[in-house]
Structure formats: C-alpha cells, structure tokens
C-alpha cells in the first residue's frame, strides 16, 4: 500500500473508531444538550456523597463543561486556553458530581493528522513511531476538587488508559506537562521524561514531554488496582485505580468492534 493510501486508510479507521464509540453510548445528538438516554461510562459510588459519573463529552453540554473546566483551572494557573477544536481523532471524558463538572481529560489518537506534542517535539514523536510505538496523547487534563482529588485523578487516568489500551490498542502514552509536575507523574504513575523542557505556545508556559509504556501501566493496575489501602505505602496512584472486574466491564463497553493491528494501519 502506498503512503497516501495507507494514511487515508489509517485516518478513516481512527475516525470510525471514535464515531463508533460515540454511537455505541447513545450520543447521536452531537449538537444539542445531553440526551435523556445518555448512559455514563461509569458511575462511582462511595467517592462522593452525591452522584459521581464519567461521561463521554460528545454532545454540546459535555463539550462546554470540559472547555469551561479547563479554562477555569488553567486560567487560575495563568495558562492560556481556547475551546477544544472539533477533532475526529480525540475522545474527551468528563466526570460530573450530579450535574457539576469536576474533572476532564482528552485522549488524542495518533493519525496522519498528527499529535499536539509534535508542535514542540517532532523529533521525539518521530523516534517513538520509528521504534514501532502506537501512540496516544493525554491532553487538557483538569481536576477541580480538593476532597478525594487523588482518587479522582487516578480514576480519570484509568478510564482514559482503558480506552487507549483496550479500545485503541495503544502501546505508549505521551503527555506534555509543566516541569513542576514531572516528579509527581514520574513517582505516582511511572511516566518517564522523553523530551526536554521547551516553551509551549498553546498555553504560554514551559512544558516537558513524558511517555508511559502502556504495558507497564497495565502490569501495575493488574498488581495493585482496587487496593487503595496500599496507596500511601507504595506512593502510587495505581492502588486507587479500578479492580480487574471493573476494568473488564468498562473495556467491554469500549471494545464493541476490534481495531486492526498497528502494522495494518501504519
């Protein structure tokens, strides 16, 4: 297959993956408010006295909730923000406490359209791809909650992780973070620095590129998931991730149709 045809096929398959995911969860009304038929990806009893649930941000209400939360939390830190672009290769999750958005994260899927990280780190991304990595990117992450913030952070990362690994069959996560946060993500989740500090124009702040082999994360979740009592002992977020039974249930909701192996779409 020549390069143009390969890139077209890859774009079509990634876009179809996202479109299928949205239709599988009852988000046909993509321009309006949340549908009464909307089913959350996961409900989280015990983490909140009210009703905490994680949704796909596919309708207008959920997208606006994600944008508002990112704008508020990034603005508080002095970062520039703008509403998320309509990207067919990106999935956004929003956690809501009743109707109030309290956390969001976006998962960008690698495609010929590229990743945000390539603006600052084209060399690093190219090297990872050349090594056979099937990349996805965690972006626009924000949490607005003091109580149970670590548990919520662990939960959001885990649900995004399940999509990246089980649905997209990714091999590596990349993420641009502020240098102040590198030690936290390294210690608590096992991220490794793969790109030096550079200035990110999108948020007008310094950034460092991190990467995480999804196989490592999968091993840590299998070992520690659902055992929050170990979190302080091993200084990690993985014990606060979901137990194996919940992982399989959410993965089953994501994995309605299989994706081709990486060699089939590169």
For residue 158, what is the domain's CATH number?
Answer: 3.40.630.30
The answer to whether 105 and 138 have CB atoms below 8 angstroms apart is: yes
Residues above pLDDT 70, as percent of the chain:
77
As a whole number of angstroms, the distance between CA 193 and CA 185 comes to: 10
Place of tokens 């590229």: 114
CA dihedral 59, 60, 61, 64 (to 10 degrees): 130
Helices (H) and strands (E) in the chain, counts: 9, 8
pLDDT value of residue 234: 92
Q: What are phi and psi of 94, to 5 degrees?
A: -130, 125
> 50 falls in which pLDDT band (50, 70, 90)?
low
Residues above pLDDT 90, as percent of the chain:
45
Q: Is 104 exposed, middle or buried (0-12, 13-18, 19+ CB in 10 A)?
A: buried
Rounded to an integer, the average pLDDT of 18-43 is 53
As a whole number of angstroms, the distance between CA 266 and CA 263 comes to: 6
Q: Is 2 helix (H, G, I), strand (E, B) or coil?
A: coil
pLDDT value of residue 251: 81
Best mean pLDDT range from 121-130, 150-159, 164-173? 121-130
Average of per-residue pLDDT values in the chain = 80
Q: Which residue range(s) make up the domain with 46? A: 3-265
pLDDT value of residue 18: 45
> 105 falls in which pLDDT band (50, 70, 90)?
very high
The answer to whether 148 and 154 have CB atoms below 8 angstroms apart is: no
How many alpha carbons fall within 13 Å on the CB side of residue 63?
17
Quote the pTM value. 0.79
Task: Work out how many domains the chain is built from and give that number.
Answer: 1
Helices 214-224 and 149-162, packing angle to 10 deg: 120
As a whole number of angstroms, the distance between CA 168 and CA 255 comes to: 9
Rounded to an integer, the average pLDDT of 154-183 is 94
Choice among 18-22, 132-136, 178-182, 230-234 with the minimum mean pLDDT: 18-22
Report angle CA 218, 121, 13 to the nearest 5 degrees.
Answer: 55
């Amino acid at each position: 297959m020549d390069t143009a045809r390969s890139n077209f096929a890859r774009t079509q398959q990634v876009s179809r993956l996202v479109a299928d995911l949205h239709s599988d969860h009852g988000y046909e009304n993509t321009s309006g408010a949340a549908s009464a038929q909307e089913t959350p990806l996961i409900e989280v009893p015990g983490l909140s006295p009210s009703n905490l649930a994680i949704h796909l941000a596919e309708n207008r209400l959920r997208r606006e909730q994600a944008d508002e939360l990112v704008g508020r939390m990034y603005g508080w830190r002095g970062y520039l923000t703008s509403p998320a672009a309509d990207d067919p290769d990106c999935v956004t999750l929003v956690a809501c406490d009743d109707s109030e958005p309290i956390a969001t994260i976006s998962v960008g899927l690698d495609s010929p359209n590229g990743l945000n990280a390539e603006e600052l780190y084209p060399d690093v991304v190219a090297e990872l791809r050349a090594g056979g990595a099937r990349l996805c990117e965690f972006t626009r992450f924000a949490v607005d909650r003091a109580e149970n913030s670590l548990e919520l952070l662990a939960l959001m990362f885990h649900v995004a992780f399940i999509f990246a690994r089980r649905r997209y069959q990714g091999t590596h996560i990349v993420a641009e973070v502020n240098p102040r946060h590198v030690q936290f993500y390294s210690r608590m989740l096992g991220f490794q620095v793969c790109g030096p500090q550079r200035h990110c124009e999108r948020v007008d702040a310094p950034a460092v590129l991190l990467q995480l082999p999804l196989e490592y994360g999968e091993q840590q979740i299998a070992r520690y998931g659902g055992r929050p009592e170990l979190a302080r002992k091993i200084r990690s977020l993985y014990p606060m991730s979901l137990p194996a039974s919940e992982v399989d249930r959410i993965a089953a909701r994501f994995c309605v149709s299989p994706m081709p192996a990486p060699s089939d779409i590169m």
